[in-house]
């Protein structure tokens, strides 16, 4: 049996090549690039850099597919396979023949559940055109990375349009590293219709009541006018950043996405906090030792304890996180904005993946 990965939302990773080019803020601290520097000389990233073919990629996927019945018996689901974790399948700079070999192999691995993840959703249609003659394979789902509201507004309409037109069975969002608050229920209507928004989790366009002069009976209970149906997002994964230069993630950004998904019935998976852990998700036993000088435990709210400890020296880096994504390397609480939260750089392992004490492991029906 092929070795499984520790990535929480998949069982196996398969790479057909390595190398890529940074295309957005989510790429700033690309772990695959750091790995390339460490193991293969670091010459496969950036414009014009040659990508490196992975010899065993196709063979690994064939083996996973061959062993799939045994895997299914042991785990109760077909093996989920993340292609490609060290590159982007829809990278313009990769050899066309490499991609075609990869996508044709993917097409026939029908006993696996393929998870294609890209930051280049605009390339997908032209790169599969004429390749999958029977249409989009029904064991293959498409995920895009979304790290902030600007990317959500730009790319989710494209993803949902592809889902409808190409018959993609399920689509998902990998919101890692999450770098700001995101409202998935109010994406500006890509058709440009004034005041119209897309609710990407429920598959609806809607208008706020103040902009529509229609009878109340036409409105949803919340007063919005639901205009028509569109495809919807089937899965949301959220995670913080890891690595030495990781950026922190505000817990309220994650909570908001958790709550949006719960309200819409969308499966939600919280992958990890990453390098930084907010104090709001620590127990007193966890955060007290982070300070050199402990004070006598008192019956305080956690934030009040932090206020109480104002000015003391921490044993690990700490910073405050603003709701708008800015942060300050300061313990001067007076400089913090509304909704600010303190976070500690405790490392990915120690930070864990509990959100308000709960592990979230939602998967869409197609992957269960």
Indicate which single residue of 119, 247, 277, 327 sits in contact with ligand SF4 (rule: CB under 6 A). 119
Judged by CB under 6 A, the stretch of 15-23, 298-306, 319-327, 360-368 that binds ligand SF4 is 15-23
Judged by CB under 6 A, the stretch of 17-25, 193-201, 207-215, 332-340 that binds ligand SF4 is 17-25
Residue 237 in contact with residue 172, Cβ under 8 Å?
A: yes
Dihedral over Cα of 364, 115, 270, 158: its sign: negative
Judged by CB under 6 A, the stretch of 9-17, 29-37, 182-190, 209-217 that binds ligand SF4 is 29-37
| Site for ligand SF4 contains 140 (CB under 6 A) | no
| Site for ligand SF4 contains 89 (CB under 6 A) | no
Which are the contacts of 278, defined by CB distance < 8 A and separation ≥ 6?
248, 249, 250, 251, 321, 341, 342, 343
| Site for ligand SF4 contains 237 (CB under 6 A) | no
| Site for ligand SF4 contains 7 (CB under 6 A) | no
Q: Considering the complex, what minimum distance in angstroms separates the CB of residue 267 from ligand SF4?
A: 23
Tally of helices (H runs) and strands (E runs) in the chain:
10, 19
| Site for ligand SF4 contains 35 (CB under 6 A) | no
| Site for ligand SF4 contains 30 (CB under 6 A) | yes
| Site for ligand SF4 contains 269 (CB under 6 A) | no
Q: Which is nearer to ligand SF4, 237 or 340 (CB)?
A: 237
CA 282/CA 340 separation, integer angstroms: 16
| Site for ligand SF4 contains 102 (CB under 6 A) | no
Q: Name which of 183, 355, 178 is nearest 264 in CA terms.
A: 183
What SS3 state is found at 349?
Answer: helix
Residue 351 in contact with residue 261, Cβ under 8 Å?
A: no
- How would DSSP label each residue in 136-176? S-TTEEEEEE--SHHHHHHHHHHHHHHHHHHT-S-EEEEE-
| Positions in the binding site for ligand SF4 (CB under 6 A) | 20, 22-23, 27, 30, 32-33, 87-88, 119
């Amino acid at each position: 049996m092929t070795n499984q990965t520790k990535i929480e939302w998949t069982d196996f990773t398969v790479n057909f090549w390595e190398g890529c080019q940074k295309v957005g803020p989510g790429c700033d601290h690309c772990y695959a690039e750091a790995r390339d520097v460490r193991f293969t000389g670091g010459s496969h990233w950036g414009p014009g850099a040659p990508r490196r073919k992975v010899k065993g990629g196709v063979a690994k996927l064939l083996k996973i597919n061959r062993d799939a019945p045994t895997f299914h018996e042991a785990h109760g689901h077909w093996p989920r396979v993340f292609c490609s974790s060290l590159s982007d399948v829809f990278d313009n700079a990769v050899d066309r023949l490499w991609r075609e070999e990869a996508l044709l192999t993917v097409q026939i691995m029908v006993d696996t559940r393929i998870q294609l993840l890209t930051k280049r959703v605009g390339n997908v249609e032209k790169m599969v055109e004429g390749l999958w003659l029977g249409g989009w394979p029904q064991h293959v789902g498409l995920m895009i990375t979304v790290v902030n509201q600007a990317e959500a507004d730009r790319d989710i309409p494209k993803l949902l349009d592809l889902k409808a037109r190409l018959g993609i069975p399920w689509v998902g969002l990998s919101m890692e590293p999450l770098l700001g608050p995101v409202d998935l229920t109010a994406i500006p209507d890509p058709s440009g219709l004034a005041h119209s928004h897309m609710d990407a989790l429920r598959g609806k366009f809607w208008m706020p009541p103040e902009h529509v002069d229609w009878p109340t009976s036409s409105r949803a209970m919340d007063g919005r006018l639901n205009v028509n149906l569109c495809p919807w997002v089937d899965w949301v994964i959220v995670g913080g950043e890891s690595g030495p230069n990781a950026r922190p993630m505000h817990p309220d950004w994650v909570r908001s996405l958790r709550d949006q998904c719960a309200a819409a019935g969308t499966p939600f998976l919280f992958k990890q906090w990453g390098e930084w852990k907010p104090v709001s998700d620590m127990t007193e036993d966890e955060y007290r030792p982070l300070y050199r000088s402990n004070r006598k435990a008192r019956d305080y709210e956690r934030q009040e304890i932090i206020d109480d400890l104002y000015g003391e020296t921490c044993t690990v880096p700490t910073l405050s996180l603003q709701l708008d994504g800015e942060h300050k390397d300061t313990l001067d609480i007076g400089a913090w904005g509304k909704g600010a939260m303190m976070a500690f750089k405790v490392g990915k392992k120690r930070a864990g993946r509990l959100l308000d004490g709960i592990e979230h492991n939602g998967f869409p029906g197609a992957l269960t």
